[in-house]
C-alpha cells in the first residue's frame, strides 16, 4: 500500500491548487481501493500457513473491514472522476473500459449490500455464500479496468501484474484444496443426540493433525447432494479414534443435522483456528462457555483427561436451563478423576436451579478465581456474551495476552 502510494506521488505533477487535484486524487482512490479489494481474497482463502498466525476469526473480521474500505475508496474513485470530467469537460466519457469498471463496482455494491443485510433480510446461508462468491468473477473485470489505464514500465503496471499472478495463485490453491478434500471423503458412523436440540456427528476417515479446540469446515453429502461448507468446532480430541462435531439447531443447515444418517458421506477441511490451550503456557486455565460454546472445551478437557495432564482448570458454563446441558455425565466423571478440574454451571432462565444463576460476569468470575493474574482465560459463546465477558475480564485487570477467544459472526 505504501509503495503504491509512493509511486502515485512520484508520477503526479503537483502545482497550484486546482481542479486537477481532484483528478489526481481519483487515481489514488483507485489504487487504494483495488489493493483492499485484492486482500479480501487473501484473507478469506483459508490459507492455513497464513491463518496459523492470526486465527480465522480475525482474518474474516479483516476481510469484512477491507471489503468495506475497498467499496468506499472505489466509489470515491468513480465519483471524483465523474465530478472532475463534468466540471472540466461538461460530460463524462463512457468508453468500454469504463463500462467494465462501472459494472464491477455495481456488482461489488450488490454483494456488499447482501453481506451487510443477509441476516436482516433472512437470506439463507447458502444463498448468501453463493452471492459472495461473485467477487471472484468481479475481480477479473476490475483487472481489465485497471490494466486499461496502466502505463507499461511503471511501478503500478508491475504491481497490477503481481496482484494478477497472486489472484491466480489463490484460485489454484482453492482448486487444489478442493480436489484434495474430494479425494478423501469421510463417512458418518454415528449420530448421537446430546440434548433436546444438540447432536454429535462422528466421522470415520483420515485423521487430521489438529489441536483440541480447533475447528473444521464440513459439507454433508446427503441423498447425493452436498451441502454448503459450514464451520464447526471439533468436539473430539486428537487422542480419540473418531473425529466429531456437535452442532446445535440454530439455522437453516443445523436444523437438518438430525436428518443425517450413518453411512452419509462428508467432505471435511481441517484444521483451522488457534483457540487451544496447547498454544500457550501455564498450568492454570479458566474456560468460560456460553451455550454450545462448550464444544472447544469438551475437546480440550478430553485431551487433558486422556493425557492425564497436570492442570488446574475451572469451567464456567452458562445456559438458560438444564435442558440445554450436554456431556454432563462425561464432565462429572472427569471432575471426579481430575484433581484440578472444577465445574460451575450457571443458569440464566431457571428459577428452581440450586446452583449459580444469572449470567457470567466479572463478579462471578472473581468469586471462583480470586487471583485473576495467574490463569489463561478462554472464552467461547455467542458474540454478545463473549464480548461482555472479555470486557469484564479486562476490567478485572486481566492482561490482554491472557485472554483468548474466537468470535465468529458470519
Cell numbers for 59:
482474518
User: What HEC string does 311-332 produce?
Assistant: CEEEEEEEECCHHHCCCHHHHH
**345 shares its domain with 245:** no
pLDDT single digits (tens) 222-275: 777 788 888 899 999 999 999 999 999 887 778 888 889 999 999 999 999 899
For residue 18, pLDDT over 60 is answered with no
The residue out of 113, 146, 181 marking a domain boundary is 181
Residues 210 and 171 in one domain: no
The grid coordinates of residue 372 equal 485473576
Cβ neighbours for 109, distance < 8 A, ≥ 6 positions apart: 71
State phi, psi for 370 to the nearest 5 degrees: -60, -40
26 within some domain: yes
pTM for the whole thing? 0.86
Does 28 share its domain with 171?
yes
Grid coordinates representing 118 are 443477509
State the CATH number of the domain containing residue 232.
2.40.30.10
- List the domain range (segments joined by +) for residue 342: 280-405
Q: Report how many domains make up the chain.
A: 3
pLDDT per position as a tens digit, 53-72:
677 777 888 888 999 999 99
The percentage of residues in the chain with a pLDDT greater than 70, rounded to a whole number, is 94
Q: Can you give the pLDDT at residue 409? A: 57
Residue 410 placed within a domain: no
Positive or negative CA dihedral for 376, 382, 388, 391? positive
Given 181, 201, 228, the domain boundary residue is: 181
Which pLDDT belongs to residue 1? 55
Query: What is the tens place of the pLDDT at every residue in 305-321?
Result: 999 999 999 999 999 99
pLDDT-based confidence at residue 17 (cuts at 50, 70, 90): very low
Amino acid at each position: 500500500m505504501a509503495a503504491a502510494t509512493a509511486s502515485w506521488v512520484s508520477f503526479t505533477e503537483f502545482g497550484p491548487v486546482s481542479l486537477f487535484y481532484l483528478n489526481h486524487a481519483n487515481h489514488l482512490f483507485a489504487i487504494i481501493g483495488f489493493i483492499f479489494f485484492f486482500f479480501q481474497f487473501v484473507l478469506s482463502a483459508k490459507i492455513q500457513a497464513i491463518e496459523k498466525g492470526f486465527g480465522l476469526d480475525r482474518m474474516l473480521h479483516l476481510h469484512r473491514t477491507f471489503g468495506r474500505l475497498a467499496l468506499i475508496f472505489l466509489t470515491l474513485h468513480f465519483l471524483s472522476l465523474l465530478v472532475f470530467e463534468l466540471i472540466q469537460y461538461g460530460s463524462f466519457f463512457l468508453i468500454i473500459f469504463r463500462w467494465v469498471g462501472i459494472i464491477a463496482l455495481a456488482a461489488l455494491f450488490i454483494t456488499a449490500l447482501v453481506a451487510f443485510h443477509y441476516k436482516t433480510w433472512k437470506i439463507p446461508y447458502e444463498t448468501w455464500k453463493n452471492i459472495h462468491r461473485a467477487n471472484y468473477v468481479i475481480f477479473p473485470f476490475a483487472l481489465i479496468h485497471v490494466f486499461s489505464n496502466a502505463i507499461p514500465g511503471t511501478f503500478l503496471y508491475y504491481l497490477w501484474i503481481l496482484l494478477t499472478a497472486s489472484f491466480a495463485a489463490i484460485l489454484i490453491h482453492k482448486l487444489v484444496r478442493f480436489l484434495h478434500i474430494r479425494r478423501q471423503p469421510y463417512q458418518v458412523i454415528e449420530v448421537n443426540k446430546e440434548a433436546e436440540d444438540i447432536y454429535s456427528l462422528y466421522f470415520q476417515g483420515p485423521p487430521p493433525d489438529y489441536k483440541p479446540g480447533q475447528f473444521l469446515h464440513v459439507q454433508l453429502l446427503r441423498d447425493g447432494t452436498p451441502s454448503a461448507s459450514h464451520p464447526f468446532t471439533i468436539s473430539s480430541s486428537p487422542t480419540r479414534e473418531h473425529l466429531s462435531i456437535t452442532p446445535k439447531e440454530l439455522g437453516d443447515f443445523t436444523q437438518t443435522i438430525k436428518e443425517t444418517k450413518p453411512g452419509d458421506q462428508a467432505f471435511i477441511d481441517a484444521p483451522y483456528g488457534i483457540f487451544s490451550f496447547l498454544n500457550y503456557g501455564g498450568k492454570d486455565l479458566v474456560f468460560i462457555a456460553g451455550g454450545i460454546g462448550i464444544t472447544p472445551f469438551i475437546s480440550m478437557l478430553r485431551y487433558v483427561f486422556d493425557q492425564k495432564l497436570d492442570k488446574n482448570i475451572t469451567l464456567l458454563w452458562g445456559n438458560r436451563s438444564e435442558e440445554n446441558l450436554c456431556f454432563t455425565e462425561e464432565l462429572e466423571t472427569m471432575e471426579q478423576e481430575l484433581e484440578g478440574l472444577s465445574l460451575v454451571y450457571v443458569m440464566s432462565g431457571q428459577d428452581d436451579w440450586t446452583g449459580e444463576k444469572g449470567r457470567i460476569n466479572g463478579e462471578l468470575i472473581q468469586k471462583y478465581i480470586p487471583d485473576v493474574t495467574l490463569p489463561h482465560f478462554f472464552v467461547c459463546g455467542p458474540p454478545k456474551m463473549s464480548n461482555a465477558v472479555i470486557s469484564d475480564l479486562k476490567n478485572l485487570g486481566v492482561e490482554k495476552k491472557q485472554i483468548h477467544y474466537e468470535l465468529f459472526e458470519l
